[in-house]
Amino acid sequence: MTFASFIIQLLNGLASASSLFLVSAGLSLIFGVTRIVNFAHGSLYMLGLYGAYSLIEALGRTPLGFWTSVVLAALLVGVAGVLIEVLVLRRIYKAPELFQLLATFAIVLVIKDIALFVWGAEDLVGPRAPGLSMAVEILGRRIPAYDLLLIAIGPVVLLALWLLLRRTRWGALVRAATQDREMVGALGVDQARLFTSVFFVGALLAGLGGALQIPREPANLELDLSIIADAFVVTVVGGLGSIGGAFLAAVLIGVAKAFCIGIGTVHWFGFEIAFSKLTLVVEFLIMALVLVVRPFGLLGRPPATQRITADPAPPLAVPSWTFALVWLALLLAVPLVADRYVTILLTDIFCFALFAVSLHFIMGPAGMVSFGHAAYFGLGAYAAGLLLKRGGLPMEAALVLAPLVAGAFAVVYGWFCVRLSGVYLAMLTLAFAQISWSIVFQWDSLTGGSNGVFGVWPSPWLAGKTAYYYLALAFCGAGVALLWRVLFSPFGYALRAGRDSPLRAEAIGIDLRRFQWSAFVLVGTLAGLAGAVFAFSKGSISPATISIAQSTDGLIMVLLGGVETLTGPVAGAAIFTWLRDEVARRTEFWRAVMGMVILLIVLLFPQGLVGGLKALATRFRERAL
């Protein structure tokens, strides 16, 4: 690479860093004050792009029209943020944090379908910035003038935000609320208004980040989740709550990506290394590296012990044998009475139930929320398929070995993850899931790339839908039973103890990290089993099994059912799978419908379905007494 192309790539990287920084800064602000990991932040960015596109079409492709559109789009997205806060989130600030997360997933689904409805499924290519469409010549290469402007915008916004947070009372309030919002309220500050203002600023930044991208990137429906993954990485690498850190991280990642594209494919010592393919994983590699060296990000500090306003988790109740046996008997009888469709749907539900129960194990009792649990599900599925198709193993062996492969990945991923806690941990799990996804997606020759693996069918004696139904019931049921059993073992108690008070756990000699690491491996293996059973039931595997969407589906199942109960995740998996199936057969806009249903549930039952029903039952019983 010559010096000139080095500089060009650097500028390129810096230009894309600006938008990323804007989005991440907003995410960081909102998270800090409201403690909500706003998954819908990427959707706001996406709306920024679409909004700018339409406004420019309406106002004309003149410099005035363009810039008015950008500013208007940002403001409108800010208002959308306010609406989300006022209509949904404000009602559930008292609910457990994870439940708020669920609400933001629902908003992602709704916004995606709104965009689909308004702008259609086609990519929309925006105009180049009027008046700035020329290129500037640097070192003999031509750089779009617009890119140079973008490079300047980043530091300007950084400075403005810094002044806002450090030099104004609003900034002091925001930082105080980041630590203890209840106390801020008791000092006479209207929290609701503070939150709304923070949401406005955060959403506006996301919208601005999106609108500014319109000359560089077509508006499309996949942007929401792809940018949110990037923004998570940036906030975590920079250090949660550190705006300066977000800037640094955005630059670092923007530049690293640009270089990977710039370098292209090189030959080193006879190896061919395709750097351009690295773009998808490079940021996650950076993240994993940074977090191991600096667990709180480049400029982050260990979080001040956030006051937990929620009550401590209630004790878990042991499921009763009669309860389990009745269900088992019912499920055993199903193929005798029900049709093929029901059998297939239930087989799916078994797989997702084990997936959800394993996720619940790690995020509930073990206290480590995973945003990337699909990694193990998908790796289990791929391992099963590849051992069968490429490894030539019999299906039975592939089914047994696949979970171990997923478990082996969990050994590696878990080693990194247990070094962190809270949101940092959650986002690192997401990073590992994305790395897995990218590898599967790009390693065409092994995994079939975006097409996936076909012909992954079970052995003849299991090929019938009924036979496979019993196999799925046996394996998934055993997996669920094992996980529940472990929860009440000394090992499971140690995990719960570590979640309640890491300080005390260490002080009585519990090596918490080791326990958490083992837990990772255990749930990774069982999620892998769920994936393997799923793979053989479908006969094919696609990268979607490792996608962010699959991970969030798992989270929705667990949260819908309720984290604080054992059976909740199973109920959540069943209801979610069934509902998705029902709705998707009826309308193209099934996401919006699902999203609305979830929102309704969130607003009506802030403890999850099973938790909410239990509360209702108790109230009912009390009234009867």
Partner 1 sequence: MLNVKDLHAYYGRAHILHGVTLEARAGEVVALLGRNGAGKSTTLKSIMGLVPAASGEVSFGDVRIESLPPHRIARLGLGYVPEERRIFTDLTVMENLTVGRQAPRAGAPSWSEDKLFALFPNLARMRERPGGRMSGGEQQMLTIARTLMGNPRCVLLDEPSEGLAPIIVEQMAHSIRTLKGEGLSVVLCEQNLHFALGVADRAYIIEKGQIRFGGTMAELAADAGLREQYLSV
Partner 2 sequence: MTAVLQVEGLHKSFGGVQAVADVSFGVDAGELLALIGPNGAGKSTCFNMLNGQLAPDGGIVRLDGRDIVGLSPRAIWRLGVGRTFQITATFASLSVRENVQMALYSHAGRLRSLLSRFGAAFRPEADRLLDQVGMLDQAERACGVLAYGDLKRVELAMALANQPRLLLMDEPTAGMAPKERVALMALTAGLARARNIAVLFTEHDMDVVFGQADRIIVLDRGALIAGGTPEAVRANAQVRAVYLGGTH
Smallest distance from the beta carbon of 185 to partner 1, in angstroms?
Answer: 4
Question: Closest CB to partner 2 among 96 and 448?
Answer: 96
Question: Closest CB to partner 1 among 32 and 51?
Answer: 32
Site size with partner 2, rule: CB under 8 A:
30
47 contacts 265 by C-beta, under 8 angstroms:
no
Q: Where are the beta strands (DSSP E) in 355-471?
A: 453-454
Question: Closest CB to partner 2 among 174 and 494?
Answer: 494
Per-residue x/- track, 489-528, partner 2 (CB under 8 A): xxxxxx-xx-xxx-xxxxxxxxx---x-------------
* Binding segment (CB under 8 A) for partner 1, from list 188-196, 351-359, 385-393, 562-570: 188-196
Question: Closest CB to partner 1 among 339 and 622?
Answer: 622
CA pair distance 26, 416, nearest whole angstrom: 27
Q: Which does 313 bind (CB under 5 to 8 A by kind): partner 1, partner 2, none?
A: partner 2
CA pair distance 285, 273, nearest whole angstrom: 16
Interface residue with partner 1, options 311, 445, 508, 623 (CB under 8 A): 311
**What are the phi and psi torsion angles at 460 (to 5°)?**
-50, -40
Smallest distance from the beta carbon of 110 to partner 2, in angstroms?
Answer: 34
Smallest distance from the beta carbon of 140 to partner 1, in angstroms?
Answer: 49
Residue found under tokens 């956030």: 306
Site size with partner 1, rule: CB under 8 A:
22
Q: Which does 486 bind (CB under 5 to 8 A by kind): partner 2, partner 1, none?
A: partner 2
List the one residue out of 266, 297, 264, 298 whose CA is nearest residue 279: 264
Give the chain's end-to-end CA distance (angstroms, integer).
81
Task: Find the helix or strand (DSSP H, E) in which 553 lies.
Answer: helix 548-561
* Binding segment (CB under 8 A) for partner 2, from list 7-15, 141-149, 253-261, 482-490: 482-490
Q: Is 68 helix (H, G, I), strand (E, B) or coil?
A: helix
CA pair distance 119, 215, nearest whole angstrom: 17
Question: Closest CB to partner 2 among 365 and 380?
Answer: 365
For residue 595, which amino acid is it? G
Smallest distance from the beta carbon of 566 to partner 2, in angstroms?
Answer: 13
Interface residue with partner 1, options 186, 266, 326, 338 (CB under 8 A): 186
* Binding segment (CB under 8 A) for partner 1, from list 181-189, 215-223, 288-296, 406-414: 181-189
Structure tokens at 276: 């351009």
CA pair distance 541, 535, nearest whole angstrom: 6
Per-residue x/- track, 311-350, partner 2 (CB under 8 A): xxxxxx----------------------------------
Site for partner 2 in 285-314 (CB under 8 A): 311-314
Interface residue with partner 1, options 141, 175, 419, 465 (CB under 8 A): 175
Q: Which does 156 bind (CB under 5 to 8 A by kind): partner 2, partner 1, none?
A: none
Q: Is 477 helix (H, G, I), strand (E, B) or coil?
A: helix
* Binding segment (CB under 8 A) for partner 1, from list 3-11, 172-180, 501-509, 518-526: 172-180
Smallest distance from the beta carbon of 177 to partner 1, in angstroms?
Answer: 9
User: What's the burial of 604, exposed, middle or buried (CB within 10 Å: 0-12/13-18/19+)?
Assistant: exposed
48 contacts 211 by C-beta, under 8 angstroms:
yes
User: What's the burial of 270, exposed, middle or buried (CB within 10 Å: 0-12/13-18/19+)?
Assistant: exposed
* Binding segment (CB under 8 A) for partner 1, from list 204-212, 245-253, 303-311, 505-513: 303-311
**Beta bridge pairs of residue 266:** 273
Per-residue x/- track, 516-555, partner 1 (CB under 8 A): ----------------------------------------
* Binding segment (CB under 8 A) for partner 1, from list 176-184, 341-349, 357-365, 559-567: 176-184
The C-alpha angle with vertex 375 and arms to 577 and 543, in degrees rounded to 5, equals 75
Q: Which does 182 bind (CB under 5 to 8 A by kind): partner 2, partner 1, none?
A: partner 1
For residue 197, which amino acid is it? S
Q: Where are the beta strands (DSSP E) in 484-550?
A: 540-541
Instruction: Assess 20 for contact with partner 2 (CB under 8 A).
Output: no
CA pair distance 419, 516, nearest whole angstrom: 10
**What are the phi and psi torsion angles at 453 (to 5°)?**
-110, 135
Q: How many angstroms from the chain centroid is the CA of residue 505? A: 29
Q: How many angstroms from the chain centroid is the CA of residue 232? A: 9
List the one residue out of 229, 261, 233, 281 whose CA is nearest residue 438: 281
CA pair distance 359, 351, nearest whole angstrom: 12
Question: Closest CB to partner 1 among 100 and 191?
Answer: 191
Q: Which does 306 bind (CB under 5 to 8 A by kind): partner 2, partner 1, none?
A: none
Residues forming the site for partner 1 (CB under 8 A) = 169, 172-173, 175-176, 178-180, 182-191, 304-305, 307, 311
Which residues are at the interface with partner 2 (CB under 8 A)? 311-316, 485-486, 488-494, 496-497, 499-501, 503-511, 515
